Structure 1
Amino acid sequence: MSNSKLKNIRISIVCPWFLRGDAVGHSANDYYNALRETGFSNVRALGVRNDFPDMNFELCEDAKSLEENRWFRQSDLIVYHFAIHHELFEALGNPKKTGKHVVCFHNVTPKHLMPKRIWDVIDRSFAQIALFKNADAIWVDSRENSEELTRQSIKDLPFIELPIAVDRPAIGALEDKPTRQIDLMCVGRFFSSKGILDIVDALAKVKRMTNRHFVLRLVGNTDFSDPEYIREVKERVCLYGLGENVDFIGKVDEVTLARVFRQSHVLVSASYHEGFCVPVIEGLRAGMIPVTYDAGNLRWIAGGRGRTVTTGNVDGLADTLVEIIEGVAESFDDPAAPVLPLDGGMKSAQQFSKDAKTYASSFSFDNFTGRLERAVTHVFETNA
């Protein structure tokens, strides 16, 4: 197919919820914008809810309404964004479907890490993955997501890795941050799978192990969080007497979020499951050192530019946080001294900032648009 003809194809981006504050919703919106930016003018978003008014969006609530949608029926390419079960994805199993069908897989959190009330949904999500065998290609955010599909017996299909675009916050440098205290940050939804209680338990130990003053800021959209888990986190903070060390901010506006990134030195994640983990790249952009468990894609996402700890090892997390806190404090006196103990070796604050900026910039929206354009071309070349 010629390039001019390819750019005139009709494309449907199918995602149940194009939500702000949600990684999958933002990713689906990025796909829409990137395709439009690279010259694909005939693109529409189809789903149940849309928080992005600039998108050309059509409401489809289930597979039947999707299959009856004129734009969907006439589309040459359909891209499904899958992270949890929804009736929309049943359209993949229709033997009479037309066009090229691609699944962008964002992974599914195992049910033992989620509240029991949604275990049935998780079971149905993993069962629905079997429909991927009817796709023409699979696009994944990460190596972890590719390996998960292999574990789910999805293979013999073209796999292309398309890391999520991350263009915020503003690029920062560790050596330019405030030096009055060590600021830590944890950002994301509040669910048991995110290991917030592990972080609080670790900080209780950290407080006994160092004289450095530190504050952890917990940031996340509580609209998508588990209220019972939030209550438990707050109770644990009080139990340990960490009121001066843990600031539960919760939902914030963009200006406040940017400010917290700008002033923080360390990004902490004790998540038990990650298919990509956008906050790690955001932290690196902001000049923050990521300290994380090694679950899922967390083992690879920072590329040695932070510290990983065996998942569930709270003592190890505490020890590592102390090492990083001490290293950051020492870097205040000499930003050129190699005092930061990272997985990739001892680094100075200046060298870390340089490396983090270069690496995080590779996830830019501009780079993503180029990868996506090549992926679309590959679908039509491979399945010609």
Structure 2
Amino acid sequence: MKISYINGVCVHHDAISNAIRDELGFLNDAGYRDVHLYTHACDYSDLPHSCVERTSNIALSPHFQASDIVVFHFGVYYPLFDLLPAAPKGSKRIVVFHNVTPKELVPSRDHWLIEKSFVQLDNIRWADRVVCDSTSNLQVLEGRGIRTDAVVVPLAITSALAAPETKPSFDDDQIRIAFVGRFTRAKGPQDLLRAMECVLRREQRCSALAGRVRLDLIGNLQFSDASLLAQLDHDIRRLRESFPQLEIHLQGNASDQLKHSILASADMFVLPTYHEGFCVPIIEAIASGCSVVAYGNSNVPAITGGLARLVATADIDALAGAVVSGMAQVRSHDWRQGEASGYRRYLQGARAHVAQFAPPVVARRFLDALSLA
């Protein structure tokens, strides 16, 4: 059986690219090895792929023409997605849909890209089946009147993440907070810094709350907003000067090893995101034993599974209040020492929740979605 994969890019630090790598691994493990990826750019020499400039380069490929299944991923406009209606006759056309960021959440200079993305989204009507990362993504399609046969299959969490039995703060009393996401306004790092300023000012007024805090912000610089990065850098320097108890680090393009180390050490994970089709970082944080605070929109309530403090989107005061509550909890004796409650109890629920995203579980569901299980 021949299978073709098509996406704009397959690069480091990109969620859709990671999903493609996972799926190619699932297919290989299941014995389907005649698989080829067509893309504009690929960072992974171990993947069977061809870098192409235009759709005609794919259309003329013998492997593509003989394919039994053609899998397209879609999360933003890319020219190769226009090949979907021209997939080989008799092939099964599959689209894996990752949602499209709403136009109001991206810089005005990129509005054209989002507009083209939503126009191109209608190509999905040509698919035989669409695989959605989440129910939220399926609802986006239904809201646009796209009634293609659909199934929900979550992304796999392939990282070797394991929550430690205790956090470093249990010994040194420094509360560690992590953020993972692109440095764009849609992910909310600017809201996090504003909320942290509110939190630290509250601590100045109430000595019972006072204590050392470390904040790590991890993000892919390639897919970030340069003007926002400049603003974040300015705000970080100002916060450092104003609050000596705050240690803050912006970790651009952090390695997976560094990210995992930061999450394993972190007491809390705060993500004031304005829109999520899935959100791998939240699952990684829960798997690492982090108490989560986030805005309760899009797929966030579903992905957190009742294990997070969720507040209204863009409500900085509520976000700061949730962070204060979370810090008080992770500083408490009950959280650190309690058996029936606290951190150990949280880990039980976290491990049960994360289990549904384990690669073997997701692989079975994905192969079934392709009618290959």
* Map of 2:329 onto structure 1: 327
Letter in structure 2 aligned against 1:251: N
**Do the aligned partners of residues 334 and 114 (structure 1) sit closer, same or farther apart at CA in structure 2, a change above 3 Å counting?**
closer
Q: What is the aligned counterpart of 1:371 among 343, 359, 365?
A: 365
Q: Give the alignment partner of residue 249 of structure 2, picking from 243, 247, 254.
A: 247
Partner of 1:362: 356
Q: Is the contact made by 1:175 and 1:332 (CA closer than 8 Å) also made in structure 2?
A: no
Deviation of the 1:195 alpha carbon: 0.9
Counterpart mapping for 1:1-384 below 5 A: 9-94=1-86, 97-155=89-147, 157-173=148-164, 175-179=166-170, 180=172, 181-209=174-202, 210-240=209-239, 241-242=242-243, 244-331=246-333, 334-336=336-338, 347-377=341-371
Distance in structure 2 (CA, Å) of the matches to 1:42 and 1:143: 31
Separation (CA, whole Å) in 2 of partners of 1:127 and 1:378: 31
Quick check: 1:266–1:291 contact (8 Å CA) kept in 2? yes
In structure 2, what is the Cα distance between the partners aligned to 1:154 and 1:351? Answer: 42
Q: Compute the TM-score of the two structures, normalised by the length of structure 2.
A: 0.92
Q: Is the 8 A contact 2:129 2:150 kept in 1?
A: yes
Question: Is the 8 Å Cα contact of residues 175 and 331 (structure 1) preserved in structure 2?
Answer: no
Show CA shifts across 1:354-375 (max 9, x none). 1111211221111111111111
Q: Secondary structure at the match of 2:201?
A: helix
Deviations 1:241-300 (A, max 9, x none): 357342212222233222111111111101111100000010011111111101211121
Deviates more, 1:314-323 or 1:96-105: 96-105
Amino acid of the structure 1 residue aligned with 2:355? S
In 1: Cα distance, 2:296 partner to 2:302 partner: 8
Coordinate RMSD, CA, aligned:
1.9
Name stretches of at least 5 consecutive residues in structure 1 with no aligned partner: 1-8, 339-346, 380-384
Residues 169 and 270 of structure 1, relative CA distance in 2, 3 Å threshold: farther
Cα-to-partner distance string for 1:206-252 (whole Å, 9 max, x where unaligned) = 11223132221001121221111111112223344357342212222
Q: What is the CA distance between 1:176 and its match in structure 2?
A: 4.1
Match of 2:332, SS state, is helix
| CA shift for structure 1 position 138 | 0.5
Contact kept in structure 1, 2:335 and 2:342, CA below 8 Å: no
Q: 1:373 to 1:238 in 2, by over 3 A?
A: same
Aligned residue identity for 2:143: R
Q: Deviations over 1:284-336 (max 9, x none)?
A: 11111111101211121010011111111110000011001100010477432
Closer, same or farther: CA 36–331 of 1 in aligned 2, 3 Å: farther
Distance change >3 Å, CA 116–CA 333, structure 1 → 2: closer
8 Å CA contact retained: 1:17, 1:48:
yes
Contact 1:331 1:349 (8 Å CA) reproduced: no
Alignment CA distance shift 1:215-1:12 (3 Å): same
Q: Alignment partner of 1:377: what SS?
A: coil
Tell me, yes or no, if the aligned pair for 2:72 and 2:94 is still in contact at 8 Å.
yes
Q: Secondary structure at the match of 1:271?
A: coil
Secondary structure of 2:193's aligned partner? helix
